[in-house]
Amino acid sequence: MKLIGIKYWLPLLWLIFFSSATAGQFDVVQTREEVLQKLQLVKMLIASSPVAKNSEDKNAKQTMELVHSLYTRANDAFIAGNLVWADAFSDEALSVMEDAARISSDPLQVEAKQRSRYAELLDDVRAFEATYKDVRKGLSSNEVASYDDKINRTDKLIKDAQALIRDGQYADASKQLERVHTIYISVLNELLASTSFVVDNTTFSTPLEEYDYELARYRSYEELIPIAYAQFKPDEYTIKLSERYVQEGSAALGVAEKQAANGDHSAAIKTLLGATKQIQTALRTVGLEVPE
């Protein structure tokens, strides 16, 4: 069912049923059949509404959760024989659905959401670019040549997105940036898992130098956390689990910084290595492959 359809016929259906509800002001009591019809209408709208199918929209999700709750209450009241409450909850569910459909079909609202989505994706792309530059530091040009080739292909996608923006095609522009996301995630996974990146033969002249290196390494993984969340879109439980590892890593980092401030860089390095492992685990939890 198309949204435009709801836009035009939902108010009509709502008016028909709402007229019966307001008739209560004149001592007209809703019959069991009328309340049942209203319940069936709510159930049908829940099943067919495009608002319900827009799972990526947090507002739409919250709206549908409210409608489901109202429908459940209305249905429970109906089963219990309380037609007054069944009718009231049904009316409220219809009202919420009507408001949601009207907002979702408003061209200005749609464009605003598309603009916001494009801006979010563009920020993510910039973060990807900065992270990639940090991760590839210290590697030879030969080691990163194949990765650079793949990343360079994103330039055209970004330019295509910008051209689409000039024509006001925000949804299509966002799709181009989503392709850029996919390329960056793939490259970062390959780069992090590559032998050249995992095997580190770097030597240090002092513990302080090694500490600074490990601190930079910790930061590079830490920067991947919001990017991984944005790309893999983990569920609430997975995010909480990942954040627990992030918090443990951050706590260990604090300890390492205090140890370093006291001049015990050897101990700080060991603590920092443990902190980095926590961040790596946080990344693996949401689906980003990183080396041990």
**48-52, 63-67, 193-197, 259-263: segment of lowest average pLDDT:** 193-197
pLDDT of residue 167: 86
Closest CA to 287 of 205, 208, 224, 219: 224
User: Do 105 and 14 form a contact (C-beta atoms < 8 A)?
Assistant: no
Query: Has this prediction a pTM greater than 0.85?
Result: no
pLDDT tens track for 134-188: 777 767 888 888 889 999 999 999 999 999 988 888 889 999 998 998 898 888 7
User: 């990343």: which residue's tokens?
Assistant: 151
> Encoding tokens for residue 78?
């109906």
- Please provide the distance, in angstroms rounded to a whole number, between the alpha carbons at the two ends of the chain: 49
Does the pLDDT value for residue 236 go beyond 50?
A: yes
Closest CA to 85 of 96, 76, 77: 77
Give the whole-angstrom CA distance, residue 5 versus residue 116.
26
User: Do 121 and 127 form a contact (C-beta atoms < 8 A)?
Assistant: no
Residue ranges of domains in the chain: 3-105, 110-286
> Encoding tokens for residue 75?
């249905």
User: Do 74 and 34 form a contact (C-beta atoms < 8 A)?
Assistant: no
Does the pLDDT value for residue 215 go beyond 50?
A: yes
Mean pLDDT of 267-285: 93
